[in-house]
Amino acid sequence: MGVVRGPLQGLPCAPFKEESFVDKPVDIIQVAIEGKKVFVRINGKGSFQNSPSFRQFYTAMLEEGKGEFFIDLQDCPSMDSTFLGTLAGLHFKLQKGNQGKIHILNVNERNMEVMKNLGINRLFSMDVNPIDWEQHKTSSVKIEKATSIEATKNSIEAHENLVTVNQDNSPKFKDVLAYLKEDLSRKTGQ
């Protein structure tokens, strides 16, 4: 058993193991593709665990010339900052090539509040129109277990995206970015 530091100092806790986060089952990302449109349904949490696979998926879609993304969050109870930064990264890639647009569908109150607090809600078209998933042929994005280095690089990029979107996010993620960059340097020996 480890010991908690800070205000709850002295309380017992389970020892931290980096791989304990990586080995947990992740939530499901379902997709359907019709022409240049990509429909994505997040079933479960949008998190650092599924962000690298989501990023790989949307990168492949952009390379195929897809330009309009519909992200359905009806079954997504929460999103962490890494996932939100990954969504912002998709926006930047679409804008860079002047390729298309992102529609966020069925966002719950909690997720909307987080998006507004980070200032990323303005990047997307917000809709409440449900997608009839029954009429689409869907498949699931294979959520690959990212290496520790890949996950750290993805998290750095995602948090840098959030700072780019809104400079008010810089103090919020300053320590996170410093830690992640130090961690990456330690892992890569650079």
- H or E, element range at 152: helix 148-165
Q: Residue 15 has what pLDDT?
A: 33
In-domain check, residue 17: no
Nearest Cα to 76, choosing from 112, 33, 101, 38?
Answer: 112
CATH number at residue 54: 3.30.750.24
Half-sphere exposure of residue 114: CA atoms within 13 angstroms, side-chain side: 15
Could you tell me if 164 and 92 are in contact, meaning their C-beta atoms sit under 8 angstroms apart?
yes
Q: Residue 9 has what pLDDT?
A: 36
In-domain check, residue 139: yes
Q: Residue 190 has what pLDDT?
A: 77
In-domain check, residue 18: no
Distance CA 68, CA 152 (A): 28
Distance CA 161, CA 89 (A): 6
In-domain check, residue 164: yes
Query: Which residues constitute the domain of residue 104?
Result: 26-188
Distance CA 124, CA 157 (A): 19
In-domain check, residue 16: no
In-domain check, residue 34: yes
Q: Residue 139 has what pLDDT?
A: 61
In-domain check, residue 122: yes
Q: pTM of this prediction? A: 0.79
Domain count, the chain: 1
Tokens of 55: 């990023």
User: Which parts of the chain have pLDDT scores under 50?
Assistant: 1-25
Nearest Cα to 27, choosing from 4, 1, 46?
Answer: 46
In-domain check, residue 5: no
